[in-house]
């Protein structure tokens, strides 16, 4: 197994639970999964965001039983450039920008395109959806973006002890959203802002994913070892249950270039490939070196998806040749 050397290590205010890289290439919304062969960094509409990351942070105090956290933005490009120029003798760490401390600990976040800006959508531990836009109009330099809250939506009553675990978006504009919770419930937030709650599972619903191009079809993964398909146009009971894992299902991810193929992963160290058109039998079952917490696809500059990155729960991460 190949090893990677760390170029910088820095402590955060609380535990990092979700890390998302900036996915948009230009003002047309072309994702970085499909870049040109030799992209020109200076042609990007928002060059200060290119190569940046957003991190959701969460901390639980067992003594006080309180949860807190925040969002953190950083762009390592300036740091890397200085480090290369100084022949690796440059010790300054990337500048970290914290925001969103007032909505509780955050376990899940996603980059979002708004009408005239880029931003972030997130779900907090107390089931509050927060949306922030990134403002860089002051031209003060690539290290000084500003983050403004444009939406805050509390999904549950103050006495609800359920914790928000994941947030998924129907598209890059967050036209519809799905939130999953520690008590098995899920929330659907429609494009009009209407909120619907239903029991997706009876134990933790770790994750969800929209069927690409269908804002009313949602797949969920749960600690009950199953993934379920819900078509909200016909009701809130599952239309299909996938039972190919022996422990909790923590990841459901469609291929970026194929709206029918998707993977599920879980605590059982299995990565299972499915075809949505025929869910009765998986296409492929792979054993991984780590329990799966999160997975995504890594694209080459020609747009091919030949690598699959898996983030482990407690024993590292791995990259596999996916043959996609």
Tell me what the pLDDT averaged over the chain comes to.
85
Q: What is the mean pLDDT of residues 204-218?
A: 97
Domain range list for the chain: 15-241
- What was the pLDDT predicted at 89? 59
- What was the pLDDT predicted at 85? 72
Q: What is the CA radius of gyration of the chain?
A: 20
Please say if the pLDDT value at position 45 is more than 60. Answer: no
- pTM of the complete model: 0.86
In this structure, are residues 103 and 69 in contact, taking their beta carbons and an 8 Å threshold? no
- What was the pLDDT predicted at 193? 92
Nearest residue to 184 via CA among 229, 220, 233, 158: 220
The two tokens of residue 31 are 């994702």
Q: CA 19 to CA 109: how far, in whole Å?
A: 8
Please say if the pLDDT value at position 265 is more than 90. Answer: yes
- What was the pLDDT predicted at 128? 96
For domain 15-241, give the fold.
Answer: Methylamine Dehydrogenase; Chain H (2.130.10)
End-to-end alpha carbon distance in the chain: 21
Q: What is the mean pLDDT of residues 226-234?
A: 97
- Within 10 Å of residue 83's Cβ, how many Cβ atoms? 17
Q: What is the mean pLDDT of residues 73-96?
A: 71
Q: What is the mean pLDDT of residues 247-268?
A: 94
The two tokens of residue 167 are 């947030």
Q: 35 vs 65, which has greater pLDDT?
A: 65
Q: What is the mean pLDDT of residues 86-113?
A: 83
Please say if the pLDDT value at position 109 is more than 80. Answer: yes
- What was the pLDDT predicted at 90? 56
For residue 173, give every residue at least 6 positions away whose Cβ sits within 8 Å of its Cβ, in sequence order, or none: 112, 113, 114
The pLDDT tens digits of the residues spanning 289-312 come to 889 999 888 776 666 676 788 888
Integer angstrom CA distances of residue 119 from 114, 244, 284, 324: 7, 36, 36, 30
Please say if the pLDDT value at position 39 is more than 70. Answer: no
In the block, residue with structure tokens 């009408």: 115
Q: 171 vs 31, which has greater pLDDT?
A: 171
């Amino acid at each position: 197994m190949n090893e990677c050397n760390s170029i910088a290590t820095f402590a955060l205010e609380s535990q990092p639970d979700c890390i998302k890289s900036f996915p948009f290439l230009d003002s047309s919304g072309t994702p970085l999964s499909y870049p040109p062969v030799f992209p020109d960094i200076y042609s990007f509409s928002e060059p200060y965001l290119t190569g940046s990351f957003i991190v959701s942070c969460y901390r639980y105090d067992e003594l006080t039983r309180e949860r807190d956290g925040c969002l953190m933005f950083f762009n390592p490009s300036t740091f890397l450039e200085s480090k290369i120029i100084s022949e690796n003798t440059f010790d300054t760490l990337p500048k970290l920008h914290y925001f969103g401390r007032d909505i509780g600990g955050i376990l899940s976040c996603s980059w979002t395109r708004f009408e005239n800006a880029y931003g972030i959508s997130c779900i907090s531990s107390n089931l509050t959806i927060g949306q922030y836009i990134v403002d860089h109009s002051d031209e003060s330099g690539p290290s000084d973006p500003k983050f403004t809250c444009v939406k805050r939506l509390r999904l549950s009553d103050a006495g609800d002890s359920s914790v928000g675990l994941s947030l998924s978006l129907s598209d890059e504009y967050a036209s519809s959203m799905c939130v999953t919770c520690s008590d098995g419930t899920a929330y659907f937030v429609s494009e009009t802002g209407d909120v619907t709650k239903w029991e997706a599972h009876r134990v933790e619903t770790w994750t969800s994913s929209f069927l690409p191009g269908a804002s009313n079809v949602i797949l969920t993964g749960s600690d009950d070892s199953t993934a379920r398909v819900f078509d909200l146009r016909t009701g809130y009971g599952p239309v299909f249950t996938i039972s190919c894992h022996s422990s909790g299902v923590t990841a459901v991810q469609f291929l970026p270039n194929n709206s029918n193929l998707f993977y599920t992963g879980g605590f059982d160290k299995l990565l299972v490939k499915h075809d949505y058109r025929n869910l009765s039998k998986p296409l492929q079952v792979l054993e991984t070196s780590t329990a799966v917490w999160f997975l995504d696809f890594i694209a080459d500059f020609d747009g091919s998806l030949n690598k699959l990155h898996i983030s482990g729960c407690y024993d590292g991460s791995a990259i596999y040749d996916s043959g996609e």
